[in-house]
Structure 1
Amino acid sequence: MKARYIRISSSSQSILRQYQKKTPDEMVYVDVISGAIPFNERPAAQELIKAIEDGIIDYLSCEAVDRLGRSAYDIQSTINYLNDKSVNLKIENLGVESFVKGKINSIFKMITDVLANVAQMEREASKERQAQGIAIAVAQGKFKGRLKGSSIPESVVLGTYKNVVKELKLGGNSLRKVAAICGVSLATVQKVKRILDGQIEAK
């Protein structure tokens, strides 16, 4: 059976561009999550992986390589996993598939390896531009964010991220998984956990 994987980074973005190419015979899996989260830790991707493991899915379409991830290692690991499971992956903006006549397409691998590294470089460049922008804003006295050394009361943090607190107290999931479930950054989950651990130690 065929499937289509769609990822957007936030709910403010539209899935329409990726969804409009859907065909009637496809199952659709949609993640609203950062590309920095490993593929196998995303909620919809985990459902897709289960369907692959159950032998339901043997063909997967994805708009672009960076929908699979923003880390070269994660993208390549995901493609290798699909190859091992004999799932034919089509990257639509390239018009290429991972298998040709039942054999691994060497051209597909060469192209996706390059684009996986490009996706990672773009993410790192974006983070660098953001840091530079903040530094300039601070120098100009325009930065409105929280400056280093300032702090938010722990009660406010816990009250703001009640869903994170709930997931951490339930246990059983990695911090990355909690971040994916709650739609927050890993750093936020780590901060909430530090506060909760501190409360336990204080008792």
Structure 2
Amino acid sequence: MSQSKTVQGMKARYNRISTANQKLERQLAKANEGDTLYNDVISGSVPFGERPQAIKLMYAIANNEVDYITVSSIDRLGRNLLDVLNTVNYFTNNGVNLMVENLGITSLVDGKPNSTFKLIVSVMANVAEMERETMLERQKEGIAIAKAKGTYKGRVRGSVEDTKDFLAKHKTVIKYLKQGNSIRLTAEAAKVSPATVQKVKKALTDIQTIA
């Protein structure tokens, strides 16, 4: 769904629903006068940086067109906790003040980081890290069991297929690069490190060379 109105100023509101059968009215009813609306109709499993309206929002931020964003709840900003944290960090690093309505707090107060918001984000980060460690531990256990049964097959590193798998994970980076964006802007917009963008560029060159 496209932006429904144009804004005077630098305020925006991001909304997301999973299907067209769901209603945006509840989220839209809370929009402030003059908000630019970015409304995505897309599954919550899609990373924030790969959603059409979210991409437009990040471009607007990169171009200093938005400095205040409202969301109904923080889970609107990503497919999982880590994605949400990356999105929040992207906003913060670009000087954007984020208002989370169901928490009733903003990320900045008088232009300075809100300590309460930082505490909440810190707790979320710790939970995300614990979830990641648990996932890796289960993965290791699964591999060990598969090896014991003789059914584990490791992937051959450096193969063409392996490179394609890597590129498939970074479609957003590829999209920004093909649009002629710099490594820095691509990294900011796709919420990855410049090193990752450079790896993607090299992988694209390798694939083209092999082809």
Which residue pairs with 2:3 in the alignment? none
Q: Does 1:20 align with 2:26?
A: yes
Q: Which residue, 115, 119, 126 being the options, matches 1:121?
A: 126
**Shift in Å, 1:187:** 9.0
Shift of residue 110 of structure 1? 2.2
Residue identity matched to 1:141: A
Q: State the identity %.
A: 24
Maintained 8 Å contact 1:3/1:28: yes
Aligned pair partner of 1:49 in 61, 67, 70: 61
CA contact (8 A) 2:85 2:121 kept: yes
Q: Tell me by how many angstroms 1:91 deviates.
A: 1.3
Q: Which residue identity is paired with 1:194?
A: K
Q: CA RMSD in A?
A: 5.4
SS at match of 2:28: coil
Q: TM-score, normalised by structure 2?
A: 0.52
Q: Unaligned regions of 5+ residues in structure 1, if any?
A: 84-88
Instruction: Report the Cα offset of residue 138 of structure 1.
Output: 0.8
Q: Distance in 1 between matches of 2:129 and 2:90?
A: 15
Aligned to 2:140: 135
CA contact (8 A) 2:61 2:67 kept: no
Q: 1:184 to 1:49 in 2, by over 3 A?
A: closer
Matching of residue 194 in structure 1 with residue 199 in structure 2: no
CA contact (8 A) 1:65 1:112 kept: no
What amino acid is aligned across from residue 81 of structure 1 in structure 2?
A: G
Tell me if the contact between 2:156 and 2:162 (Cα under 8 Å) persists in the aligned partners.
no
Change (3 A) 1:81 1:146: farther
Contact 1:18–1:63 (CA under 8 A) maintained in structure 2: no
- 2:183 equivalent in structure 1: 174
Q: Distance in 2 between matches of 1:17 and 1:127?
A: 33
Question: CA 1:134/1:109 → structure 2, altered by over 3 Å: closer, same or farther?
Answer: same
- State the Cα distance separating 1:112 from its structure 2 match: 0.5
1:70 maps onto 2:90 in alignment: no
Query: 3-state DSSP class of the match of 1:140?
Result: helix
Is residue 2:119 matched to residue 1:110? no
Structure 2, unaligned stretches of length 5 or more?
1-7, 79-83
Query: Contact 1:3 / 1:27 at 8 angstroms: preserved in 2?
Result: yes
Q: In the TM superposition, what is the alpha-carbon distance from 1:76 to its structure 2 partner?
A: 7.5
